[in-house]
Structure 1
């Protein structure tokens, strides 16, 4: 058996897997940057409870057609002791 052909085939298989993974990351990133149609924000609430760090938040808003929608997302908590 010709080992150089075996190693070359393995090398190209690894490159294909790496390229597929990179493509999947780009696809997920572009999906996360979806344009939101927000005409008016009704409320924004989070579950920080005074804690610092990343917390869950919920925004309720109206789109341009007047339909009420809800967006759940993560954000950094607003810590009252920053800069002290």
Structure 2
């Protein structure tokens, strides 16, 4: 029985040594709405809305000051090139 417990303890400790310890932080999807507090340190990408008419979906990818990646999906009014 002692040998079984020793083997089990060895298995547990060796499993934690070989475990993947890299931090894989998932992308945080922010919710749209009034008074959205955003901590933007660096903008990664923004949807290009030039030349598009009407209300269109847009996306903002950015990093906060802690280095976490955020995605904000929202609607924006495009500016039609033929409007006066």
Q: With structure 1 as the length reference, what TM-score do the two structures score?
A: 0.51
Query: Which residue is equivalent to 1:44?
Result: 46
Deviation string, structure 1 residues 8-32 (Cα, Å, up to 9, x no partner): xxxxxxxxxxxxxxxxxxxxxxx62
Off by >2 Å, runs of 4+ in structure 1: 48-51, 78-83
Question: How many residue pairs get matched?
Answer: 52
**Higher normalized helix content (fraction of residues):** 1
Deviation string, structure 1 residues 25-63 (Cα, Å, up to 9, x no partner): xxxxxx6212111111111115x6944111100000011
Q: With structure 2 as the length reference, what TM-score do the two structures score?
A: 0.51
Whether the 8 Å contact between 2:50 and 2:78 is mirrored in structure 1 is: no
State the structure with more CA Rg.
2
What RMSD in Å do the two structures reach over aligned CA positions? 2.2
CA distance in 2, matches of 1:81, 1:42: 30
